[in-house]
Amino acid sequence: MAEALLRLHDVKKYFPLRRGWLRRPGWLRAVDGVSFEVQTGEIFGLVGESGCGKTTLGKTILGLYRPTAGAITFKGRPIHALPPAQARALRREIQYVYQDPGASLDPWWTVGRSLHEPLVVHTRLSRRERQARVEEMIHAVGLESAHLRRYPHEFSGGQQRRLGLARVLVLNPSLVIFDEPTSGLDVSVQATILKLFKELRARFRLTYVFISHDLSVIRLMCQRVAVMYLGVVVELGSTAAIFDTPRHPYTRALLAAIPRPVVAPEGDEGPLLEGEPPSAQQLPGGCRFRLRCPLARQDPCARLEPPLAEVAPGHWVACHFADTVPSAAS
Ligand SMILES: Nc1ncnc2c1ncn2[C@@H]1O[C@H](COP(=O)(O)OP(=O)(O)O)[C@@H](O)[C@H]1O
Ligand SMILES: [Mg+2]
């Protein structure tokens, strides 16, 4: 098999706990041992409830956070502990599209200037070459040259997503991390934007890590999916495996919570999720899902944290009872 574009090995990111200005002993374990590989050209999804560590993991891949432990390899090179200059150079190849693209565009600058800026900072292109590149990308995302003279507030939500993508594409990245890129958009606009993202991936040979709490978006976009719960991956597999034969009780509950005519496997409502996840500051011992899990027993769930185990080729589940969860196919 070809070398993965991105490889995470047991990546952890802990934040120190604070109360007021006092640092309390202890850590918030936002990302707590995540391993997976993303293949070149793939759209890899990260899904899970708010607060499960998706953004923290995305920013750790980008290099905004240094992992507390673990290793991140990009194109075969370890990147988790690079010196700042090399980390900056690398960040051109890995780009991040924020949930609110308005925030990455300066309200006082024309859009043209905001698109030129990364090229000024990161490349030695001449003004003319920069102009050509910016024009190419504004057209690629379905906007026009005239838009370059306008200001961010003159654009609709959907157009702002296009600009957010154009702004990272000018740098010719190989990996783009999208963080909740369609939240706040009307469903119709959302569909158009997702289609555009897919087209651009093919056209520019990009690889995407696609973060969303929205399972229907993930299903539409991704080839493989990692389901996160409180800082760990509880299930990982092809989109078909995750949606048609989910094995982890958490994944099944998430699917069951989607309003009907959508995706829960036929005739199986699955358990409904109750309450909120416990705080990442005080994780329960053993399996961290056990307090909300219909299958949980004292032993082994309270005692042992279940490791991710392969239940079918390419389909991984972290549950002591993964084998007893009926699969929809059987
Ligand atoms: N900079 C930070 N400092 C301290 N805690 C943080 C920081 N960023 C995120 N957290 C905490 O880490 C956990 C994961 O957050 P986040 O990665 O934003 O989750 P998600 O993107 O899945 O909603 C949450 O408990 C959140 O409060
Ligand atoms: Mg987030």
Q: What is the pLDDT of residues 67-122, one digit of tens each?
A: 999 999 999 989 988 887 787 778 789 999 987 766 778 899 999 999 999 999 88
Q: Which of 39, 19, 38, 37 is nearest to 28 (CA)?
A: 19
pLDDT over threshold 80, residue 60: yes
The closest residue, in CA terms, to atom 6 on ligand 1 is 15
Q: Cα of 136 to ligand 1 centre, how many Å?
A: 36
What pLDDT is recorded for position 330?
40
Q: Cα of 165 to ligand 1 centre, how many Å?
A: 24
Q: What is the pLDDT of residues 271-291, one digit of tens each?
A: 667 777 888 888 889 999 999
Model pTM score: 0.92
The model's confidence at residue 328, banded by pLDDT at 50, 70 and 90, is very low
For 59-70, what is the mean pLDDT? Answer: 93
**Over the chain, what is the mean pLDDT?**
89
For 160-176, what is the mean pLDDT? Answer: 94
Q: Give the percent of the chain with pLDDT over 90.
A: 70
Q: Rounded to whole angstroms, how far apart are CA atoms 70 and 30?
A: 14
For 22-40, what is the mean pLDDT? Answer: 90
Q: Cα of 59 to ligand 2 centre, how many Å?
A: 10
Judged by its nearest atom, the ligand closest to the C-alpha of residue 279 is 1
Residue among 56, 64, 100, 279 to mutate when testing ligand 1 (max atoms within 8 A of CB): 56
Q: Which residues are in the CB-under-5-Å shell of ion ligand 2?
A: 55
Range in 13-27, 188-202, 211-225, 278-292 with the lowest mean pLDDT: 13-27
What pLDDT is recorded for position 323?
80
Which atom of ligand 1 approaches the CA of 15 most closely? 4
The closest residue, in CA terms, to atom 2 on ligand 1 is 15
Residue 106 dihedral angles phi and psi, to the nearest 5°: -70, 125
Which atom of ligand 1 approaches the CA of 179 most closely? 21
Task: State the Cα angle at 194 between 192 and 197, rounded to 5°.
Answer: 110
Range in 23-37, 117-131, 171-185, 268-282 with the lowest mean pLDDT: 268-282
Judged by its nearest atom, the ligand closest to the C-alpha of residue 53 is 1
Q: What is the pLDDT of residues 205-262, one digit of tens each?
A: 999 999 999 999 999 999 999 999 999 999 999 999 999 999 999 999 999 887 655 4
Judged by its nearest atom, the ligand closest to the C-alpha of residue 54 is 1
Considering only residues 256 and 265, tell me which one the structure prediction assigns the higher pLDDT.
256
* Ligand 1 pocket at CB < 6 A: 15, 28, 30, 48, 50-56, 280
Q: What is the pLDDT of residues 46-55, one digit of tens each?
A: 999 999 999 9
pLDDT over threshold 60, residue 329: no
pLDDT over threshold 80, residue 23: no
What pLDDT is recorded for position 17?
86
Judged by its nearest atom, the ligand closest to the C-alpha of residue 65 is 1
Q: Rounded to whole angstroms, how far apart are CA atoms 236 and 147?
A: 41
Which atom of ligand 1 approaches the CA of 59 most closely? 17
What pLDDT is recorded for position 98?
86
What pLDDT is recorded for position 272?
67
What pLDDT is recorded for position 18?
76
Considering only residues 261 and 186, tell me which one the structure prediction assigns the higher pLDDT.
186
What pLDDT is recorded for position 40?
96
The model's confidence at residue 320, banded by pLDDT at 50, 70 and 90, is very high
